[in-house]
Structure 1
């Protein structure tokens, strides 16, 4: 099966960690895969040079209005090979969650091909507008900690598609991924979840949700979190604590309530 393929690698060099949405500029050469001196010394780089990758595919044999398509965009960073590998593996894991019958090698490109191969085997796929999309952006940075937002969307017919968003944290000095427990003061997990449960109750009250809803959609823990200007945000995907129609709810625990619970280096500096 012939496919049209547009694979643009190394399309942006942007030095400036506080401007994640700046427009891309063409790169003269691909990013090097060796560690920077700062990374080798266990020191986080002051700036990150971003490289934007774009992968667009569709089935050339399809000439209908709703041809299946793949539209993926993700980031890697110059001189950050461990981080880059972790990014691509995490994104591939998100794309593979609802894989079909076609075989693949587990790579982003292989999963895109498999999605289109599955679509080609479905008689109605060209009329249903099958779609697989993903966007990876730099959400923010706090000292050594860089956070990426990873959003995917898959539609394979039916009433609606399936969106998903995950937040990925990386310690630039230690060159390793960071989980929620790593962000918390040891022994303060129960205190954190108590605060989260309180925010969930407040959200239920704000939405005027009755007891039937509360019994059907109880509070649940998630390690999908990020920092914003107000506090720590717990991000839930569809069907986790609410039905699809309510989207992807968030609960925000204000920083004032997290003193002694979240590690000090991740809290706003006074």
Structure 2
């Protein structure tokens, strides 16, 4: 099944407070249990984001949820969920999280699942990002040292995009710091049976 999976839109709406949350729903996969697992993982992450962003907070004024499909080919689905909420104060707060799946098995890939064991992927990715921070003159809250082993990422085209939340390494006004890394540049540490290799050879 190398063709893209079918993605439909679902939504949660409420007038007071003003809530409009859209999220993806996967349909027509060959295996119903796999489809159920992937949709369950998406809803689970969404629920966590909604709660974290104050869905049940009495002070909630507005909440907006969106999603983006980053990769949908060669049995790989990579997507991002973004939730903005405003509960008063100077400005609202936005969180974005991503999921990457094998749509044939339902397996969800964490960052470490993409790389060979003992590959020191954290150190190697951190070095690349550190160079990009310096080259792009990214303003930091404090000196950058390393990514987390489970750092946020998504896959797009022939690239892995490592990113950070608001306030994680940069001031709020900078927005989300995204660091695209061509898969070709790190092919020596990627798993040959993982999604990075699948996209690399495409």
Inter-CA distance 217–246: structure 2 relative to 1 (3 Å threshold): farther
Q: Which has the higher relative contact order, 1 or 2, with Cα contacts under 8 A spaced 6 or more apart? A: 2
**Could you report, residue by residue, the CA deviation over 1:143-172 in whole angstroms, capped at 9, with x for unpaired residues?**
222111111111111111111111101121
Q: Is the 8 A contact 2:130 2:144 kept in 1?
A: no
Aligned position for 2:145: 219
Question: 1:54 and 2:3 equivalent?
Answer: no
After TM superposition, the score normalised by the length of structure 1 is: 0.63
Question: 1:78 and 2:9 equivalent?
Answer: no
Q: What is the alpha-carbon distance in structure 1 between the residues aligned to residue 137 and residue 23 of structure 2?
A: 38
Q: Is the 8 A contact 1:196 1:251 kept in 2?
A: no
Match of 1:177 among 95, 108, 119: 108
Aligned position for 2:48: 93
Q: Is the 8 A contact 2:4 2:75 kept in 1?
A: no
Q: What is the alpha-carbon distance in structure 1 between the residues aligned to residue 114 and residue 73 of structure 2?
A: 12
Q: What is the alpha-carbon distance in structure 2 between the residues aligned to residue 201 and residue 160 of structure 1?
A: 29
Q: What is the alpha-carbon distance in structure 1 between the residues aligned to residue 171 and residue 50 of structure 2?
A: 22
Match of 2:130 among 188, 201, 207: 201
**Could you report, residue by residue, the CA deviation over 1:22-65 in whole angstroms, capped at 9, with x for unpaired residues?**
xxxxxxxxxxxxxxxxxxxxxx5744222211222112xxxxxx
Question: 1:168 and 2:99 equivalent?
Answer: yes
**Could you report, residue by residue, the CA deviation over 1:161-185 in whole angstroms, capped at 9, with x for unpaired residues?**
1111111011212223221111112
Q: Is the 8 A contact 2:154 2:160 kept in 1?
A: yes
4+ long deviations beyond 4 Å = none
Larger-Rg structure: 1
How far did residue 234 of structure 1 move? 0.2
How far did residue 137 of structure 1 move? 2.9
Residues 85-94 or 137-146, more deviating? 137-146
Question: Greater strand percent: which structure?
Answer: 2
How much is the aligned-residue C-alpha RMSD, in angstroms?
2.4
How far did residue 206 of structure 1 move? 2.7
Gaps of 5+ in 1: 1-43, 60-67, 100-110, 120-124
Gaps of 5+ in 2: 29-34
